[in-house]
Amino acid sequence: MKNYLVTLLWLVLFLPAASACGGDASGRIGAGEPEGPETPATPAVTYKNPVFREFLVADPTVIRGDDGNFYLYATEAGHNNIPILRSADLVHWTKVGEAFTAESHPQITDKAGANLWAPDINRIGDRYVLYYSQPGENNKHAIGVASAPSLTGPFTDHGKLIGSNEIGVDISIDQFYIEEQGRKYMFWGSFRGIWAIELADDGLSLKPGAEKRKIAGDQYEGTYIHKHGGYYYLFVSTGDFMKNYHVVVGRSKSLLGPYVDRAGRDMLSVHHELVVGNGNGFVAPGHNAEFVTDDKGQDWMLYHTRLEEGGPRYLLLDRIDWVDGWPEVRGYKPARSAVAPVFE
């Protein structure tokens, strides 16, 4: 009886006050309204990595076309051409062509039948310009250039742009094109330093009299430069590309450097910050493409990784978070699954 009276007194004294304050007896907001079944939140659209499994691709480059779709070019394992993939959302990709025909296939080094590596796609003027790498004998690799009026090609080859012998840099591959204040530059290099040189206005040749300039040290490759918040961010890959490859970054107020880490140490002396490394069952992530910003303002990065040491490379997608002015993949590990980009 005593317990019953106490409970009754509590209800008389406190329940009206709780209702008057807009809460129910448990203190939750919204008391006084009928308690129907909860309406589930709209489920977020998610995706799983890798985002493309039809065949093996690496070293991606991506551009958005006038039709709103994204076009991706890459190194294709076991195939001596550059595949062209298309997607509306960065998640679902379909092959729509190849960069070259059998007749237009480039040969710019002394290695007969050499593959084409690490393309870089850009729009320059009224045409699309595709830069590519090709291995040569004794590390005398080269970078070529081709163009087309359409993103689906076929591309017309214009021959060699940079050769290891001519430029004095072995393993001249992994090129990246960028424009700055009307001037055009090529960055390139693979474990022989990252270098930069100015191009002619059409992007098809070196600017007469231009001289190369070393930007970062001898342990990097796979250059990409992104401008954000008043800084240029130099993304490169480093490590053993079979087992502990990873993406790192430095930043500079100037396109041509010096690029430094958080502590102000120069990338010429091989100092940097981690963007993404091994984890979640993925091995040797690296060689990222250009960032894509979705309709919610979120930045995204495409890159390749392996599912085991020494295994084949697959295409991955991850969001980039900016933390205290520095970019990172969440947890510094590739995501197994995540909320997808938003394109409305």
Q: CATH code at 296?
A: 2.115.10.20
Query: What confidence score (pLDDT) does residue 78 get?
Result: 87
Same-domain pairing of 10 and 147: no
What pLDDT, on the 0 to 100 scale, is given for residue 43?
A: 55
Position 190 in a domain: yes
Most confidently modeled range among 9-23, 31-45, 297-311: 297-311
Asked whether the predicted pLDDT for residue 21 surpasses 60, the reply is no
More confident residue, 289 or 17: 289
Asked if the structure places residue 322 within a domain, the reply is yes
Q: What is the percent of the chain with per-residue pLDDT over 90, rounded to a whole number?
A: 84
Q: Identify the pLDDT of residue 104.
A: 87
Structural domain harbouring 155? 51-339
Q: Are 25 and 61 part of one and the same domain?
A: no
pTM: 0.87
For residue 103, the model assigns a pLDDT of 86
On whether residue 43 sits in a domain, the answer given is no
pLDDT > 60? residue 17 = no
Average pLDDT for the chain? 90
Q: Establish if 96 belongs to a structural domain.
A: yes
**Residue 283's pLDDT band (boundaries 50, 70, 90)?**
very high
Q: For 156-202, how does the pLDDT look when each residue is reduced to its tens digit (9 = 90+)? A: 999 999 999 999 999 999 999 999 999 999 999 999 999 999 999 99
What is the number of structural domains in the chain?
2
If asked whether residues 4 and 65 sit together in one domain, one would say: no
Q: Distances in Å between the alpha carbon of 153 and those of 5, 92, 128, 147?
A: 85, 21, 9, 8
Q: Are residues 79 and 130 located together in one domain of the fold? A: yes
Q: Is residue 233 part of a domain?
A: yes
- Report the pLDDT averaged over residues 30-41: 37
Shared-domain flag, residues 15 and 86: no
Residue 36 has pLDDT above 70, yes or no: no
100-137 pLDDT, tens digit each: 998 889 999 999 989 999 999 999 999 999 999 999 99
HSE, side-chain direction, 13 A CA sphere, residue 190: 24
Classify residue 235: in a domain, yes or no: yes
Extended beta strands in 253-306, E state:
273-276, 283-286, 292-293, 299-306
Least confident range of 42-46, 186-190, 195-199, 336-340: 42-46
In a domain, 46, yes or no: no
Nearest to 115 by CA among 96, 141, 93, 91: 141
Asked whether residue 23 is domain-assigned, the answer is yes
CA atoms within 13 A on the CB side of 47: 19
